[in-house]
């Protein structure tokens, strides 16, 4: 079986995460303003505004801590170059939406990591990446016991 050629993909925080966070923040802020306008600025309004502020801060923190780095396929094995370089023992596609993929990485230390990969501008490289993900999954040895014949 022929494997796809080497490909490197820069992983950045997904644009849709940022858009979803901003959309939810705007909706929640509008709802909080409407609630405060109807109820007046009492204790329940202050609790709601505090909860909204905490949720926005947690969302911004999650965006800032989203994994970023480089995912490399050398033709035989994956490597993740994030905070440090680590060999990937298994890479599996969890969700493939043509221009957006969710992949699961398992490193040699058995830690799991999920990465959102999205087509940026180079569709030829994106196609090569998707081919490499599928080919690597087919190449990986199966851990399921084979039925005896």
Per-residue pLDDT of 92-128, as tens digits, reads 899 999 889 999 988 877 678 888 898 877 788 899 8
Give the three-class secondary structure for 110.
Answer: coil
Query: Comparing 30-39, 62-71, 79-88, 100-109, which segment has the lowest mean pLDDT?
Result: 79-88
Burial of 136 (0-12, 13-18, 19+ CB in 10 A): buried
Using the predicted structure, report yes or no on whether residue 143 has a pLDDT greater than 70: no
- Quote the pLDDT of residue 149: 45
Which architecture does CATH list for 7-12+67-139?
Roll (2.30)
CB 98 within 8 A of CB 86: no
pTM above 0.75, yes or no: no
Give, in order, the Cα–Cα distances in Å from 113 to each of 49, 79, 91, 135, 142: 33, 13, 10, 20, 20
In the chain, what percentage of residues exceed pLDDT 90? Answer: 7
Angstrom distance (rounded) from CA 31 to CA 58: 19
For the sheet containing 69-73, what is the strand order? 7-11, 69-73, 78-81, 85-96, 100-107, 112-118
- Quote the pLDDT of residue 101: 92
The ranges assigned to domains in the chain are 7-12+67-139, 15-64
Q: 100-107 and 85-96 as β-strands: parallel, antiparallel, unpaired? A: antiparallel
DSSP state of 97: -
């Amino acid at each position: 079986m022929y494997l796809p050629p080497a490909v490197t993909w820069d992983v950045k925080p997904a644009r849709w995460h940022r858009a979803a966070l901003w959309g939810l923040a705007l909706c929640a802020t509008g709802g909080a303003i409407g609630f405060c306008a109807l109820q007046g600025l009492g204790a329940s309004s202050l609790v709601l505004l505090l909860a909204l502020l905490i949720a926005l801060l947690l969302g911004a923190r999650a965006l800032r801590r989203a994994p970023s780095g480089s995912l490399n396929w050398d033709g035989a094995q994956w490597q993740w170059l994030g905070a440090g370089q680590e060999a990937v023992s298994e890479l599996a596609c969890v969700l493939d939406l043509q221009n957006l993929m969710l992949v699961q990485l398992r490193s040699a230390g058995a830690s799991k990591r999920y990465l959102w990969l999205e087509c940026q501008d180079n569709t030829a490289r994106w196609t090569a990446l998707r081919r490499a993900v599928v080919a690597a999954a087919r190449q990986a040895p199966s851990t399921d016991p084979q039925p005896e014949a």
